[in-house]
Each structure stands twice: as structure tokens, then as C-alpha cells.
Amino acid sequence: LVLESGNNGTRQINSLQALRKEKSRDAARSRRGKENFEFYELAKLLPLPAAITSQLDKASIIRLTISYLKMR
């Protein structure tokens, strides 16, 4: 983008930058939501009680899944 002289051009650029940041944040939030859903689904497939799998963090889900797959 080319800076225009005057406050109006600067405001337009700042507004555009804010929109890009918001779009990026929304995309990241959506990605995290999808990722969390998949981790939840993966945890449900583990041969553990639901009371335990619902309390696991992502690293634990991956670690337990790897261990489970190695045993099979």
C-alpha cells in the first residue's frame, strides 16, 4: 500500500490493517476450535473412562494415543 498524504489516507491504512488483524485472529480462533474438536474426538477413542479423557490436555492425548497405537 502507498501512504496517501493527509490523515484520511493514514486512517484508511490503519483501518485496513485492523481488518487484516481481525481476519487473522478469526482464522486462528477457527483453526484452534477445529483442532480442539479433533483432539476431543481422538481422546474419546482412547480405551479410558470418559471421566479421565475429558480432563486430558493435548500433549497427554497425543502421548496416550501413541502409546496405545504402539501396543496394538
Q: Is 2 within a domain?
A: no
Q: How many domains does the chain have?
A: 1
The pLDDT profile of the chain, 72 residues, written as one tens digit per residue, is 445 555 666 778 889 999 999 999 999 999 999 999 999 999 999 999 999 999 999 999 999 999 999 999
29: containing domain: 7-71
Q: Is 1 within a domain?
A: no
Q: Give the per-residue pLDDT at 4.
A: 52
Q: How many CA atoms lie within 13 A of 26 on its CB side?
A: 6
Whose cell is 481481525? That residue is 22
Q: Is 33 within a domain?
A: yes
**Residues 2, 43: Cα–Cα separation, whole Å:** 50
Instruction: Output the CA torsion 59→60→64→66 (10° steps).
Output: 10
Q: Is 24 within a domain?
A: yes
Q: Is 11 within a domain?
A: yes
Residue 27 has which C-alpha cell?
Answer: 482464522
pTM: 0.73
